[in-house]
Amino acid sequence: MIDKIKEHIAEVEKFTADSKEAVESFRIKYLGKKGLLNDFFAEFKNVPNEQKKEFGQTINQLKKTAEEKVSTLKSALDNTAEETGIYGDLTRPGEATKIGARHPISIVKNQIIDIFSRIGFNVSEGPEIEDDWHNFTALNLPEYHPARDMQDTFFVQTNPDILLRTHTSSVQVRYMENNKPPIRTISPGRVYRNEAISARSHCFFHQIEGLYIDKNVSFADLKQTLQFFTTELFGKSKIRLRPSYFPFTEPSAEVDVYWGLETEADYRITKGTGWLEIGGCGMVDPNVLKNCGIDANEYSGFAFGVGIDRIAMLLYQITDIRLLSENDVRFLEQFRSAL
């Protein structure tokens, strides 16, 4: 009989359960009113006197082991139930994480970079806080030049030589100072001008400017580059170049793309002409090349610039430029499916 009780002790020690019902069945089996322990206690009177002591100690050991096992299993199951209540069913498939959307400015910028990278242009970047040399003087805009008034500038009051860049042409100057021709680069970035904020203008916006310097570069090269760009981005291949003035290019031109007059929106954004201005361009002025340490007698080049914000507004029919900087989640989520 004692050996039989010891077998039950070993069985109790090995027992495990994954539910409270299984623990309760185990408790009833050993510790219930009709459980095995009561049966063993009932046999106590039939045990020989010389074995009663050992028999009693073995029964008590079984009882203690069974009670400890029940207590341990209940505690473990209670902790598991508490964790499930906090974290839910950990075996369920996870919910898809809600991802953000690319900003329309980033979408358009990446599209433009991809277009020019296919024809050999790399990407160059520079500081948004610039000095007078890189933002004005090196670009053929010496001090007191009247063309400086074309750009209302944010100057740093403690140092009038330091300012927020008004164009990314300053990046092109830095690139020419540190790289020898041939040069083929585009410079995307944020620029600042002291303008009144409205639905069509802001005190900061985004530009992407291109520069190509090499031997025997002509205006025809510039036109074909812009032709490729407008066809790839807008799907419209008809462009025109209107004479204009920029201090750092000569000759200079405004770039128009034929948008068409198919919808009411086309009439509105082109003012009924079908033509839409998208940027400026021109042949790099020899003085700019000299300022950057490039031999203007050996090399020539062209530059162009377009406004990323304006193109984004055209492509996505955005009527207010302020939406691009207000971080309204309802507005930004519309571009979740965009590239």
* pLDDT at 85 exceeding the cut of 60: no
pLDDT in tens, 122-136: 999 999 999 999 999
Superfamily covering domain 104-335 = Bira Bifunctional Protein; Domain 2 (3.30.930.10)
As a whole number, the mean pLDDT across the chain is 86
Q: Which residues are CB-neighbours of 58 under 8 A, at least 6 positions away?
A: 2, 5, 6, 9
Contact 132, 161 (CB under 8 A): yes
Q: What is the tens place of the pLDDT at every residue in 167-202? A: 999 999 999 999 999 999 999 999 998 888 888 788
The domain spans of the chain are 2-87, 104-335
pLDDT band at 339 (very low <50, low <70, confident <90, very high): low
Q: List, as one string, the DSSP characters of 133-159.
A: HHHTGGGT--TT-GGGGGS---EETTE
- The yes-or-no verdict on residue 231 having pLDDT over 70 is yes
Q: How far apart are CA 74 and CA 24, in angstroms?
A: 9
Q: Given strand 155-156, what is the order of strands in its sheet?
A: 129-131, 159-164, 155-156
